[in-house]
């Protein structure tokens, strides 16, 4: 079965992804010993919290028509699908190996790449003047996260 999603559903998924991201970074921060890496990971968690607030705000600005179901779905399967996708694809809810900074950074880089791809698609359902520029800002933020994480991974590689 294929699903068509309205803007409200997609933004709700984005909120969940940001919650998952913040949790991931906080768990990673708790697992590392380095103060500077712990600080970086906590800062990334805080940024994910801010992104979630942006999506909450975008959702609150939606018109009623943008919240109407895109397809007949009396069982709410589309929303279940979106939640499962948010929970399994980007900042996935599977057990992450926090035993090394390298593994943490690689998992975070993968998740940031996936979130950028998702937000590029999200941009297409957010109308001009209704928050598209905010989604662009989040994409740029996620790209900054990706750059910072990649630089941290390179620093680890250089120490070997």
1 domain-assigned: no
Number of domains in the chain: 1
Q: How far apart (Å, rounded) are the C-alpha atoms in residues 19 and 45?
A: 9
Q: What is the mean pLDDT of the chain?
A: 80
Q: Tell me, what's the pLDDT at 1?
A: 43
Residue 78 within a domain:
yes
Residue ranges of alpha helices (H) inside 61-131 are: 77-88, 101-122
Check which CATH number belongs to the domain holding 70 and give it. 1.20.1260.10
Sort 152 into a burial class: Cβ within 10 Å, 0-12 / 13-18 / 19+: buried
Kindly state the tokens that stand for 11: 């933004």
Please report whether residue 89 resides in a domain: yes
62 vs 143 pLDDT, higher one: 143
CB contact at 8 A, 52 and 22: yes
52 alpha-carbon distance from chain centroid: 8
- Tens of pLDDT, residues 101-140: 888 889 889 888 988 888 887 777 666 766 677 788 889 9
Residue 68 lies in a domain: yes
């Amino acid at each position: 079965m294929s699903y068509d999603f309205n803007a409200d559903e997609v933004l709700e998924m984005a909120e969940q992804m940001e919650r998952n991201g913040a949790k991931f970074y906080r768990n990673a921060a708790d697992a590392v010993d380095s103060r500077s890496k712990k600080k970086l990971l906590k800062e990334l968690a805080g940024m994910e919290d801010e992104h979630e607030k942006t999506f909450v705000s975008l959702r609150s600005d939606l018109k009623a028509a943008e919240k109407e179901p895109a397809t007949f779905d009396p069982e709410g399967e589309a929303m279940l699908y979106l939640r499962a996708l948010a929970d399994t694809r980007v900042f996935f809810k599977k057990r992450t190996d926090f035993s090394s900074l390298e593994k943490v950074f690689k998992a975070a880089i993968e998740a940031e790449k996936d979130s950028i791809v998702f937000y590029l698609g999200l941009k297409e359902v957010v109308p001009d003047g209704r928050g598209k520029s905010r989604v662009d800002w989040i994409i740029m933020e996620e790209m900054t996260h990706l750059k910072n994480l990649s630089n941290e991974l390179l620093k680890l590689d250089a120490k070997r």
